[in-house]
Chains A and B, each alone.
Chain A
């Protein structure tokens, strides 16, 4: 469904250029759960921003459902984001003036969905995510885990085909993290959601089916979980991280 072809991204002025992404290529199939790992500054978020059309690539191409997103005009890009992409950010990014229900319903409202059916759809998603009882509350009244589940709800309620998660467990405690990752796995397995998750946490990455390792803007390694158990996969990830070397010591 998603093809990333040889993309490069440069930042900075003429005299001082930083290469954030260096000939990155990979494919994401329908229904896959992929984690992208790497240390701070390795280009993870830049890659995610390019895929999510929030940022543009310097060269190369990104195809979603065989459609090149680089060629889309601004209006189409906006439509593309609201119809096909769902976002989950590290700091939740819920609107604090809206209730949890409204934050989830916002995605449908932006899509000009039939207003009559919004409440029903939101209720369904909330049921699956286990946040039905906090729907009428405002973000500051609920816990971090609940907020992040609400963000997941917003990312999938409108039937978006690709869920992009940027360090979704970054601000959560271990119990809430585990809970969220299980929900994401469930979304992936039961609802067929394609998930692309950026993380520097090996534990989070072990929930994915495939892990891409990024170092200095390049894909350094790739791990497939296959039929192995999560615990085994977790150790394999740690091994790769050890290989990545000293500057990734903040990972784990």
Chain B
């Protein structure tokens, strides 16, 4: 039997433990390939000129992914080396050179990596179709399934993989070459020692790390780059301090309270865990760090998406909105001519937005919500303009009697204005509130350019017309979507006019452009963040799982003995479950405690009216955790079923 066959056979015997690792590498290869696909797909790139910025973000995310996966491969390779060191020691003992053994191990890993890459590229094609479908839907463009094959995408994926494996393999190669037979044979015998030994120091580190952790979480939530960086540093210090002192602190706790140790199944669960934790303090901290980054990435990604989407939505009732701080009738003449000539218009209207002589309502709203103040005085609109716009948008008509006014606002303002019961006065005449309407009404445009910001007061024409004009609006509903080219031309026309005549503050808004922006930003920011989050969760979960599965034989012997000693199967299964639960929960609890407040706080910084409904901070935090635990759960379930099947006696 040749050595390579022998080695293959040995590798096969241990393959079960590493199957989950192999699949993770396949999934990572698939992800890398799918995202590379986005970079090189002409079809995706041609959706918008702005898509040209997407590749850079993907490459940046991929570089982080390559670093993380290098670490994973290096860690796993080293772990496998530890577990197979005796086998390699034997090869050296029977006369092989270290160099040859190293080469053997190198090829073995390279073949595994190669297989993962091929499978991953195949799978990545499907994943690419999913990403493509999402992007096309975001752009509102129809899509069809087509087989995607890009030599460039494969090439880039290959380069990433070579980098990943080069780093990991060179490290282990060097290690094997330098090892002596004794080291190889007794490599797995090294005792696991607690990192921090004296208990007083451990207690101090534990307490300090908790304080630093709380401080770090608060710093992360404050404004300012510097505080954020210090906060992130604190979190890192906290996680390492916590896991190093905690792992060695548990035995100390039970030494102090021996009765607790012998209660129920505590003894077994605690010892199964501490033997792992003591050796895994640093790894646990790293995993917790990855989890924290993952939850924050997911949450941030979703917040970004909500901001983009929900900021665009209130304004998306009109296809085009032009506004200018001017009082002349012909303000939009040039643009209107272009629109009428080049775009098929369904309906359009030009009208004025006025300002009241006081800011009572603005004051009231801003003192009761996080309202962002845009107008100096309360914005006002004439009833006939309002009626025409409602008719244009297909909203049911509203009536206004003598001495009445109404408010049109965004839903979040309505909650506050329900308590508004003041009579308002215009030119000495008093008006009472008739009703509040909350349909989408272009009320989320900055720089006095929309139908008010958040709200507008609607009064009879004769009352409005005597008020000073804030700005002129021209809103359009088109029959077809306004193209990127048309948008650019219109913008240029408006700009030229402004340049010539000194118009102050012209704003131009297009629904199609806004949607394209959302799509591009999603592809640019949200996709890479989720890409990272996915890789982070998988990496951390697979390390935890490999650690568990590699102990299969050890657990098996232990439960066999316990059976002989008279432990019932039900109890064994319970002990295994408890151990599992604590083992997997340990590195997940600090990230949840850090990540959730961070997400909720970040979402709270956004102006009101955006993070509502499905984008409510609590919902976003919930979904981020849900996504995280979904992927994590798959690994836990895999490890648990495999271990339960193989470990518990029949």
CB pair B191 A140 closer than 8 Å: yes
* Interface residues of A, dominant DSSP: helix
CB pair A119 B566 closer than 8 Å: no
Given contacts A97-B272, A97-B275, A118-B262, are A81 and B565 in contact (CB under 8 A)? yes
Report how far A251 CA is from B261 CA in the complex, Å.
44
CB pair A95 B558 closer than 8 Å: yes
**B265: nearest chain-A partner, CB-CB:** A109
B-contact bits for A95-108, CB 8 A (1 contact / 0 none): 10110001001111
Minimum C-beta distance from A18 to chain B (A): 22
Given contacts A115-B263, A118-B258, are A98 and B566 in contact (CB under 8 A)? no
Q: Does B435 contact A (CB under 8 A)?
A: no
CB pair B267 A105 closer than 8 Å: yes
| CB-contacts of A120-155 with B (<8 A) | 140, 154
CB pair A87 B565 closer than 8 Å: yes
Contact of B258 among A78, A119, A154 (CB under 8 A): A119
Which of B274, B558, B566, B569 is most buried by chain A, counting CB atoms within 10 A of its CB? B566
Given contacts A95-B271, A102-B267, A105-B267, are A78 and B259 in contact (CB under 8 A)? no
CB pair B565 A108 closer than 8 Å: no
Residues of B within 8 A of A52 (CB): 564
Given contacts A109-B267, A140-B191, are A82 and B275 in contact (CB under 8 A)? no
Contact of B262 among A87, A95, A97, A105 (CB under 8 A): A105
Q: Does B345 contact A (CB under 8 A)?
A: no
Residues of B within 8 A of A83 (CB): 566
B-contact bits for A69-96, CB 8 A (1 contact / 0 none): 0000011001111110101000001010
CB pair A115 B261 closer than 8 Å: yes
* Total number of A residues with any Cβ neighbor in B under 8 Å: 30
Residues of A within 8 A of B261 (CB): 102, 105, 115
Report how far A199 CA is from B558 CA in the complex, Å.
24
Report how far A140 CA is from B260 CA in the complex, Å.
25
B-contact bits for A14-52, CB 8 A (1 contact / 0 none): 000000000000000000000000000000000000001
CB pair A115 B260 closer than 8 Å: yes
Residues of B within 8 A of A81 (CB): 564-566
Residues of A within 8 A of B567 (CB): 78, 82, 110
Q: Does B589 contact A (CB under 8 A)?
A: no
Report how far A52 CA is from B566 CA in the complex, Å.
10
**A119: nearest chain-B partner, CB-CB:** B258
Given contacts A95-B271, A98-B267, A105-B267, are A110 and B565 in contact (CB under 8 A)? yes
Q: Does B347 contact A (CB under 8 A)?
A: no
Minimum C-beta distance from B255 to chain A (A): 8
**A84: nearest chain-B partner, CB-CB:** B566
Report how far A197 CA is from B590 CA in the complex, Å.
53
A-contact bits for B250-277, CB 8 A (1 contact / 0 none): 0000000011111101011001101100
Residues of B within 8 A of A109 (CB): 262-263, 265, 267
CB pair A95 B561 closer than 8 Å: yes
Report how far A87 CA is from B567 CA in the complex, Å.
13
Q: Does A113 contact B (CB under 8 A)?
A: yes
Report how far A123 CA is from B226 CA in the complex, Å.
57
Residues of A within 8 A of B271 (CB): 95, 97-98, 102
Report how far A80 CA is from B564 CA in the complex, Å.
11
Q: Does B568 contact A (CB under 8 A)?
A: yes
Residues of A within 8 A of B568 (CB): 74-75, 78-79
* Total number of B residues with any Cβ neighbor in A under 8 Å: 24
CB pair A107 B267 closer than 8 Å: no
Residues of B within 8 A of A249 (CB): none
Count A/B pairs, Cβ under 8 Å: 71
**A79: nearest chain-B partner, CB-CB:** B566
Report how far A93 CA is from B267 CA in the complex, Å.
17
Q: Does A191 contact B (CB under 8 A)?
A: no
Report how far A238 CA is from B267 CA in the complex, Å.
45
Which of B261, B565, B568 is most buried by chain A, counting CB atoms within 10 A of its CB? B565
Q: Does A240 contact B (CB under 8 A)?
A: no
CB pair B565 A115 closer than 8 Å: no
Contact of B267 among A79, A87, A106 (CB under 8 A): A106
Q: Does A116 contact B (CB under 8 A)?
A: yes
Report how far A109 CA is from B274 CA in the complex, Å.
18
Minimum C-beta distance from A227 to chain B (A): 36
Report how far A79 CA is from B272 CA in the complex, Å.
23
Minimum C-beta distance from B589 to chain A (A): 23
Q: Does A54 contact B (CB under 8 A)?
A: yes
Report how far A102 CA is from B266 CA in the complex, Å.
11
Contact of A108 among B262, B265, B274, B558 (CB under 8 A): B262
CB pair A113 B565 closer than 8 Å: no
Residues of A within 8 A of B562 (CB): 110
Report how far A202 CA is from B259 CA in the complex, Å.
43
Residues of B within 8 A of A93 (CB): 561, 564
Report how far A102 CA is from B567 CA in the complex, Å.
16
Residues of A within 8 A of B275 (CB): 97
Residues of B within 8 A of A108 (CB): 262
Report how far A88 CA is from B565 CA in the complex, Å.
10
Report how far A75 CA is from B261 CA in the complex, Å.
24
Minimum C-beta distance from A126 to chain B (A): 14
Residues of B within 8 A of A87 (CB): 564-565
Report how far A54 CA is from B267 CA in the complex, Å.
24
CB pair B566 A82 closer than 8 Å: yes
Residues of A within 8 A of B565 (CB): 81-82, 87, 106-107, 110, 154
CB pair B267 A80 closer than 8 Å: no
Report how far A87 CA is from B561 CA in the complex, Å.
10
Residues of B within 8 A of A115 (CB): 258-263
A-contact bits for B554-576, CB 8 A (1 contact / 0 none): 00001001111111110000000
| CB-contacts of B529-575 with A (<8 A) | 558, 561-569
**B572: nearest chain-A partner, CB-CB:** A78
CB pair A110 B258 closer than 8 Å: no
Q: Would you give 17 A-B contacts (Cβ < 8 Å), ordered by A?
A: A78-B566, A80-B566, A81-B565, A82-B565, A82-B566, A82-B567, A83-B566, A87-B564, A95-B271, A97-B271, A97-B275, A102-B261, A105-B267, A109-B262, A109-B265, A110-B565, A115-B259
The 6 closest A-B pairs by CB, nearest first: A82-B566, A81-B566, A115-B262, A118-B262, A115-B259, A97-B275
Which residues of A are interface residues toward B (Cβ below 8 A)?
52, 54, 74-75, 78-83, 85, 87, 93, 95, 97-98, 102, 105-110, 113, 115-116, 118-119, 140, 154
Given contacts A83-B566, A97-B271, A118-B259, 20 further A-B contacts (CB under 8 A): A54-B563, A54-B564, A75-B568, A81-B566, A82-B567, A87-B565, A93-B564, A95-B558, A97-B272, A105-B267, A106-B267, A106-B268, A109-B262, A109-B263, A109-B267, A110-B565, A113-B262, A115-B258, A115-B260, A119-B259
Which residues of B are interface residues toward A (Cβ below 8 A)?
191, 258-263, 265, 267-268, 271-272, 274-275, 558, 561-569
